[in-house]
Amino acid sequence: MTVQESTSTRPYLIRALHEWCTDNGFTPYIAVRVDDSVQVPREYVNDGEIVLNVGFDATSSLQLGNDYIEFKARFGGKPRDIMVPVGRVIAIYARENGQGMAFPPPVDLLSALDDDASAPDAADGVQDADTTDDSRVVQLVPTGPGPEGEGDDPRPPTPAGASRPALKRVK
């Protein structure tokens, strides 16, 4: 099996982080980029994304498969069937402390960003930074001190009082 034929690591990482959250008493949440393939209540979608509680207390019949995450949940007291393709999950994290993992955006979003970035501005041939959907890029930023002896670290100094990495949206 070649690298191109191997299965994605995303479903395995989602299951591992879900298990880690559950084992430590945290509530696992997933952030999902919504399109027509995602079956969620559309009235809860904001800016093309939805955050779902995938803890065992909030779901029934939860299946974290290689292709889909499926479960039943209540939204506003009404039971709903939820089905999310694993490729549309953009993050999984613990609600209580924010620890988790962000994934690359879905392929269709990446190609749309590439199309926007490669199209020059008609006025001056330069791409305007405000024309791309830059609110979807997430970067992990270390906020704690590094190991001793790292005086030549090119990163900016750590803010006082910070102790762990945090998710930061890059604009």
Count how many domains the chain has.
Answer: 2
Choose one of 63, 80, 104: the last residue of a domain: 104
Q: Are residues 65 and 149 in the same domain?
A: no
What pLDDT, in 10s, does the model give residues 23-73?
999 999 999 999 999 999 999 999 999 999 999 999 999 999 999 999 999
Q: Does 170 have pLDDT greater than 50? A: yes
Distance of CA 64 to the CA centre of its chain: 16
The answer to whether residue 80 is domain-embedded is yes
Q: Which domain holds residue 69?
A: 10-104
Q: Report the DSSP pairing between strands 28-33 and 89-94.
A: antiparallel
Q: Are residues 20 and 61 in the same domain?
A: yes
Quote the CA–CA distance of 4 and 131 in Å, as a whole number. 32
Model pLDDT, residue 2: 61
Q: Are residues 84 and 165 in the same domain?
A: no
- pTM exceeds 0.85, yes or no: no
Q: Are residues 22 and 65 in the same domain?
A: yes
Least confident of 53-62, 131-140, 156-165: 131-140
Model pLDDT, residue 8: 87
Choose one of 58, 79, 104: the last residue of a domain: 104
The answer to whether residue 113 is domain-embedded is no
Q: Is 101 within 8 Å of 94 (Cβ atoms)? A: no
Q: Is 66 within 8 Å of 11 (Cβ atoms)? A: yes
Q: Are residues 94 and 20 in the same domain?
A: yes
Q: Are residues 23 and 98 in the same domain?
A: yes
